[in-house]
Structure formats: structure tokens, C-alpha cells
Amino acid sequence: MKLNLDFTGRHVLVTGAASGIGRVTANAFAAAGAESLWLVDLDEAGLAAAAAEIGPRAQTFAADVSQVASHQALAARVAEAGTPLDALFLNAGIFYPTPLADAPEAGYDKLFAVNVKGLFFGLQALLPHVRDGASVVLCSSVAAQYVLPGYSVYSATKAAVNAYARQWAHELAPRRIRVNSLSPGPIETPIFAKLGLPQEQLDGFMGSLGQMVLLGRVGRSEEVAAAVLFLCSDLASYITGIDLPVDGGYLAF
């Protein structure tokens, strides 16, 4: 049995590719030989920097994943390229607290629009351009199962992501397209700085997250990327409809 994570000749799409987990994962696909990479994000400067790291195999598409029209435009570009997708990592997401007592409606709607609706209409638009036998990985979170006080809406969006993976695994099985979700534990990325906390409070928050993990530390994006590549590779050819925690033992705590 040949055990490798070779993506030579494969065409890959990553959303949320301008930063954090998505950017590192796009780089990992490139290092594993992917022939072309679509990098999708609304952060144009970050996208340009991510594409520069990869070189000419990377194509950028600036889009807000909460907008259905963005996905249709992206699908048209992928169709034009004429190379159906072999692996999709639908990873773009946002994270902030929504206390039950006073969280505003707009914050609620945005979390669901980006983290949930964006996945549905993204995959719907791209499906005609996905190769039979391809692999789709949805980025969920341990928050789907574990209580993070004050983050109930984020948690609910990620529970929806887990449900999508199981449902779509069924719907797409006739085309042998595998669909799985992956749940990172706390991973050191720019997502936490976006909370706007003072540095001292942010350090305290990250430290407390690290202590909630069996391995005693927050994780690195590279550790998530390795699991994404595994799920998208031929090594995972008999895995569909699961949620894979990549959490240093957070859920086992």
C-alpha cells in the first residue's frame, strides 16, 4: 500500500485562504503538489500575499462567502478554467461572542450568513464543477459540541456545519464525493486578535484555552492543515460523513 499525501495533478479550492488555517492549508496543498489552487477570501491584500507565497499555480478570487452572487461568479470562473475541482476546503468563518442578554440581531445574522449560508450556496454553485470522487472538507469547531460561554450563536453555526457534512455525504455519495467536517480546537491564528480585546486580556484568553486542552497548549494551523490534506487525500478514501476533531484532546478533557 502506497501511503502518501500527493496532490500532483489535483485542483484545489480553499475559502478563507487569506489568513490563518486556510492560508497555511493552501500552502500545504501547494507543497504536496497541487496543480492549481483557487484562493477565495474577502481580504484582497491577504489573498495577494497568500498567492505570492504559492506562485503561479494560485489564482485568487475576492468574494464575500455570505453573498450567493459571489459564488455564482466564482463558479463561472472555475468553469472557464475547465479543470473540475478535486478537493475543497470550505473554511472561511467568523467568530465573536453573542451574549444572550444583549447580542444584536445584525451580529446573529452575520454569523449565520458567513459560517452557515456561505457553505450551502458555495457548494451548491460549485457542485457542477466538482469532479466525481472529489473530497469536500467543511471547517467546523469543537465549539459545536463544547460549551464556550457567551458564544452560543457561533456554537450553533458550527453544529449546523457538522449537520451539513453528514447530510451532504448522503446527497453526494452517488457521485462518490466524500464530505467531512473538521473541528479545530483552539488554534493560534489572527481570528482571536479580531475580537478587539486588549493584548493582556487576549493573552489571558489564549492561555486559558491552552489549559483546556489535554496536550496543554493551543494548536498550530499546520496541525489542522495536515488533517485537511489527509481527509482530501486517497488515504481517506473510505471516510465520509464524519467530524474529525483536531483539538489536542479538547473534547476529551
- Does residue 165 contact residue 180 with C-beta atoms inside 8 Å? yes
154 tagged catalytic: yes
Question: Helices 118-126 and 68-81, interaxial angle, to 10°?
Answer: 30
What whole-number distance in Å separates Cα of residue 52 and Cα of residue 225? 19
Nearer to ligand NAD, 6 or 103 (CB): 103
Nearer to ligand NAD, 39 or 177 (CB): 39
Q: Catalytic residue among 146, 151, 154, 238, which?
A: 154
Least distance from C-beta 32 to ligand NAD, angstroms?
Answer: 19
Least distance from C-beta 2 to ligand NAD, angstroms?
Answer: 31
- Does residue 61 contact residue 38 with C-beta atoms inside 8 Å? yes
Annotate 217-246 with b (16+ C-beta within 10 A) or e (fewer). ebbebebbbebbbbbbbebbeeebbbbbbb
- Does residue 219 contact residue 188 with C-beta atoms inside 8 Å? yes
Least distance from C-beta 92 to ligand NAD, angstroms?
Answer: 4
Nearer to ligand NAD, 46 or 126 (CB): 46
* Binding-site ranges for ligand NAD (CB under 6 A): 16, 18-22, 41-43, 46, 64-66, 91-95, 114, 139, 141, 184, 186-187, 189-191, 194
Catalytic residues, by residue number, are: 154
